[in-house]
Amino acid sequence: MSEQLIIALSKGRILNDTLPLLAAAGIEPVDDPERSRKLVLDTSRPEVKLVVLRATDVPTYVQYGAADLGVAGKDVLMEHGGADLYEPLDLGIARCRLMVAGFPEAQHRPGTLRVATKFVNITRRYFAEQGRQIETIKLYGSMELAPIAGLADLIVDLVDTGRTLEANGLVPLEHIADISSRMVVNRASMKLKHRPIKEFLARLQQSLAQD
């Protein structure tokens, strides 16, 4: 069995925050991930390769074994469901909060509430656990516009500083989860490539402790 490791990284902010952690653990891409047209990137360790994906695709690649490990936000993992994934490390990067937001008192409106979000599964689970009736509307961006335009009563979205909500007259109403990026591992890879994965995770944990 090959002990080559493929690590799936999320594009954007998470990638920028992950690369220094990998470098501290002795793994650096040979080519600039932002500029290279290569789909599989070589690293300073010949046995380790990197793939850079849309954040929502990382859990799928790891779940089906196309990547052995991956870095994804807890929000993405919660929405995905996390089947066949170990989650051994909280990397403590890209921190934010997953919140219900809207106009003040919006959640107290009678009847079925309309909730706009890209986190449809999380949203349905959250409100179902509280026994509250909702209709979900899936959006991919400009979430704050939905209550302003009358499309939805509430939104479920990631909140960092809260300034965008405030600028649009909205407020955070309910806290669903604290979010940060996690290292996830394919269950089969953990068994078949146990030694190199454990060694990598130990180096990464050490670099986190020194941060």
pLDDT for res 99: 98
pLDDT for res 1: 41
Closest CA to 18 of 187, 211, 188, 162: 211
Phi and psi torsions of 142, nearest 5°: 50, 50
CA dist 29 and 142 (Å) reads: 34
Q: Per residue in 131-156, is it b (16+ CB within 10 Å) or e — as a string?
A: eeebebeebeeebbebbeeeebbbbb
Where do the CATH 3.40.190.10 domains begin and end in the chain? 5-94+180-210, 96-178
The CATH code of domain 5-94+180-210 reads 3.40.190.10
CA dist 1 and 140 (Å) reads: 41
Q: What is the pTM of this model?
A: 0.90
The CATH code of domain 96-178 reads 3.40.190.10
Find tokens 């300034």 and name the residue.
163
Q: Which tokens hold the place of 181?
A: 């990026």
Q: What is the pLDDT of residues 55-101, one digit of tens each?
A: 999 999 999 999 999 999 999 999 998 777 999 999 999 999 999 99
Mean pLDDT lowest among 1-5, 22-26, 124-128, 155-159: 1-5
